[in-house]
Amino acid sequence: MQFIKKNSISTVTPFTVTMSKQRSGSRNTSIHSRPSQHTINIPASHSLMYKSKGGCCQQCCTKENLKEQALLIATIASVIIGIGVGVALRGLKCPGDEYVNGCRITKEDITYIDFPGKIFINILKMLILPLIVSSIISSLAQLDAQSSGKMGVRALVYYFGTTIIAAIIGIILVVVIRPGSRGVSVEKKAAAKSAEARTIDTVLDLFRNLFPDNIMEAAFRSVGTKLNVTRVVATGLNNQSYNKTLFDPIIEKRDGINVLGLLLFCILFGVIISRLKEKAIILKKFFEAMLEVVMQLVRIAMLYSPIGIFFLIVAKMLEMDTLTDFVGSLGLYMATVLAGLFIHGFIVLPLILFIITRINVFKYIRGMSQALVTAFGTASSSATLPVTYRCVEEKNHIDPRVSRFVLPVGATVNMDGTALYEAVAAIYIAQLNGIPLNFVKIIVTSLTSTLASIGAASIPQAGLVTMVIVLNALGLPSDEVRTIYAVDWLLDRFRTAINVFGDSIGCAIVQHLSRHELKALDNKEKIAFLNGINDSRTIVPLIVPSNQRVSIAFDNPTFIDPQGTISDTDDADDNTKRTAF
C-alpha cells in the first residue's frame, strides 16, 4: 500500500489495505504528514489492489494448507488402523483378570490402552465451557436484537424440522425391513443400563436446566430427576386386586455442564451488550479476545487428535465381548440404523442445503471431514464442538456471527441421529417381543423420539438412557433397552457424526437466510467508520475495488507516505489542488 501526501500528483499502485485510526495523544510515525483539504480521484485505468501472486496450485500447496490435509489424513488413518489393530489384538485378550493360556491383555490393560484417548476427550471438554460462553456472547454482541431473534427462530425451525424428518426416515426403514422379525434371538446384556423415566419429568428437567438457580454451578452441574418406582398389589372395588405402580420423583444434582442454562444466560448477556453499545465495549472486546485465545488452543489440541482417536478405537474394539453381536437380528438392526443415518446425513441434509443455498455440497462435506472424524472417535458432539467451530469458519467460510450462535444451540437441541436411532430401536424392540404397533403408536414414536433426543445430553450413549422414555410411551418394559446394548457403542459414533454434520449445515442455511440482516449490519459498521474518520488525527487508507473510479473528500485528513515515493513540490499553503493516482 502506498499512502499519499497533500498537494502531490502521482500514480501509485496500492497492494495491501487496512483501516487504522491514530489514537489521540499518540504521535504520527510518518515524517510526511500534514493536515490538509483534498479531493482524491482514482481512475479505473490504473492497476489496482489484490493481484494474486500465484495460481491455484500455489495457493493449495501453502504450508498451512498442507498441515491441514496431513492432519485430516492422519485422523482418518487413525480410525482405520485403530479398527484393524483392535481386531488383531482380540486374539490376545484374556477372558478374566489373569494371564492364563497365553493371553496378554486383561481388562486392566484395556484401561491403560484407553488412557491416551480419555486424555484427548478431557482436553476437548476442557475447552467447551470457555468456547460456548465466549462464542455466543461475542456473536450476539455484534448483532442487534432483531437480527439475533430472527436468526434464532430460523435455527430452531431448521433443527426441529430435520429432527422430525430423521425420526420419520427411521420409522419407515424399520417398518419396511422388520429386523426384529428376522434372524436369531438376541441375548440381553447384564451390564446394560436400565432406568425408569417419564416424559413429563424430561420436560420439567428441560425447564429446570434452562433457569438454573446458580449460574456458576451451571458450569459444572445440571439438574435431573431420579425416578424411584414401586410396584404393589392394590385392592379395588369388589375386593378385586390389581397391580399398581407408584412413582417417587427425586430432584438431584448431576455432574456435567448445564449447557441449556449457560446458553440462555449467554444469549441474554450478549443481547444486552449489543443494546448498550459503547457502554459495554470493554466486555465485547474481552469476549472477542477470549474466543480468539480459545480457538488457538483448539488448533493446538487438534494436533493430538490422531493419537487420541486411535487409542479410543482400539480400546473399544477390545472391550467388545464377541464379534457375533454384529450378525443375525441385531446385525439387521444395525444395518437399518446405518442406512437411515446415511440417507438422512448424505442425501436429505445435503439436498436441503443445496435447495436453499445453492452451494457445492461436496465441497462443504469435505470441509467438515475433520469434525466428522473427531465426532466418530469421541462419540460426543459437545467434545467435538471446538473442532466443528474451526471447520465451519475456516474451511467452509461461515460468518462467525452465525456459527458462534448457531453451533452451541445445535450441539444441545439438534439430535437428528439420536432421534432416528431411538425411533428405530423402539420399534425393533416391539418387533422382537411380537407387539404390533398401529398408526397412532407410530406417530407417538416419532414425536416422543424427537422430544427425547432434545432432552438427551450431548455425551456418549446418552440416547440409550433417554430411549426409556420412548419405550414407556409404547408400553414396553424399560429393561428391554438391554437388548441393543451390545452394539450401541458403535451406532453412537455414527449418530454423533450425523448430529455434528446437521449442526454445520444449519449454520450455512441460517447464514443464507440471514444474509440481508448481516449485510445491513455491515453497512452500519461502514457508515460508523466513515463518520469517525473526519478527524485530523486519522490515517486514511483506501480500499479500491477494480474497474471503478472513486472520488473521496475529507475535511481535514492526514495522508502519509511511509516509503517516500511521492514527491512534494507544491506550496505548503495551497490546500485546494488535486491529488490523483
Q: Does the pTM exceed 0.85?
A: no
Q: Residue 105: beta bridge partners?
A: 93
CATH class for the domain made up of 65-522: mainly alpha
Q: How confident is the model at residue 6 (pLDDT cuts 50, 70, 90)?
A: very low
Compute the average pLDDT of residues 103-110: 88
* Three-state helix/strand/coil letters over 144-168: CHHHHHHHHHHHHHHHHHHHHHHHH
**Across all residues in the chain, what is the average pLDDT?**
77
Q: How confident is the model at residue 22 (pLDDT cuts 50, 70, 90)?
A: very low
- 267: helix, strand or coil: helix
pLDDT at 11: 41
DSSP string over 277-314? GGGGHHHHHHHHHHHHHHHHHHHHHHTTHHHHHHHHHH
Compute the average pLDDT of residues 436-464: 69
Compute the average pLDDT of residues 513-541: 72
Q: How confident is the model at residue 283 (pLDDT cuts 50, 70, 90)?
A: very high
Taking only the tens place, the pLDDT of each residue in 255-273 is: 888 888 898 999 999 999 9
Closest CA to 433 of 475, 470, 468: 475
* Across 14-18, 300-304, 324-328, 518-522, least confident range: 14-18
- 270: helix, strand or coil: helix
Taking only the tens place, the pLDDT of each residue in 336-352 is: 999 999 999 999 999 99
Backbone angles phi, psi at 233, to 5 degrees: -100, 115
Does the pLDDT of residue 198 top 90, yes or no?
no
Compute the average pLDDT of residues 373-398: 90
Compute the average pLDDT of residues 266-290: 92
Does the pLDDT of residue 32 top 50, yes or no?
no
pLDDT at 362: 94
Q: How confident is the model at residue 566 (pLDDT cuts 50, 70, 90)?
A: very low
* Across 240-254, 267-281, 491-505, least confident range: 240-254
* Across 289-303, 334-348, 445-459, least confident range: 445-459
pLDDT at 111: 92
